[in-house]
Amino acid sequence: MTTYVLVPGFWLGGWAWDAVAPKIEEQGHDVRQISPPLDPGIGVEEHIEQLTDVLNTLDDVVLAGHSYGGMVMTAAADRMPARIRRLVYVDTGPLPDGMSQADFDGTPPVAVDGMLPVPAQAPPAATGFDWSIVRDRGRPQPVATATDPVRHRDRWRALPRTAILCSFSETQLRELAATVPLFGPMAGDGWTYRELPTGHWPMFSEPDALASLLLSSD
């Protein structure tokens, strides 16, 4: 039995994986759906520490993260590589050491009382599902999780890694990795790629297909 640890992105909790987890459990695996604390003042380090605390109780883990969750899981894996069988990046990738989510996005986050509100309108990449599931169930994100830099060394690079590509193709990714330093960590030895062209939130738009790809990544 493998344990799948699923880390959500901005505004989301473990509930974001509710349509994915049962498909994995049906194959006899354990699933842990992480719900990061989204209280004012929380930063990236608190989310990394929460995840490392979970990993410390497990072995033989497939660690999967979506969007911002990819940054958190990279740092956690860097601290506890022996607990992990494979890293799976769901439309995301590892950021270089010292970079923040806001650095990657290229625009300063617009916070209200230290929090990033859940967008009322669906972003362009929210295709194939009703955005109301995020609007109604999501929670504002602490702004520090967007502005804090992630810190890691290179121990995560020794782990097998799969990228599930939803917003662009493998060909596009390889071109970006060759020309844009921010995408550089997503290429090289140890990577495999799977395409699921369904927009940035595949756990809502294509949960069955995403579950199948998570299972086949192991």
Mean of the per-residue pLDDT values for the chain?
96
CA angle 45–29–126, rounded 5-degree value: 55
Strand 191-195: give its sheet, edge to edge: 30-33, 3-7, 61-66, 84-90, 161-165, 191-195
Evaluate whether 95 touches 182 at the Cβ level (below 8 Å): yes
pLDDT tens digits, 160-200? 999 999 999 999 999 999 999 889 999 999 999 999 999 99
Q: Can you give the pTM of this predicted structure? A: 0.97
Residue entry with tokens 């509100």: 117
Residue 16 has pLDDT above 80, yes or no: yes
107 pLDDT band (50/70/90 cuts)?
A: confident
Other C-beta atoms closer than 10 Å to the C-beta of 101 total 23
The pair of three-digit structure tokens given for residue 56, joined into one six-digit string: 């410390």
Whether 129 and 108 have beta carbons less than 8 Å apart is answered as: no
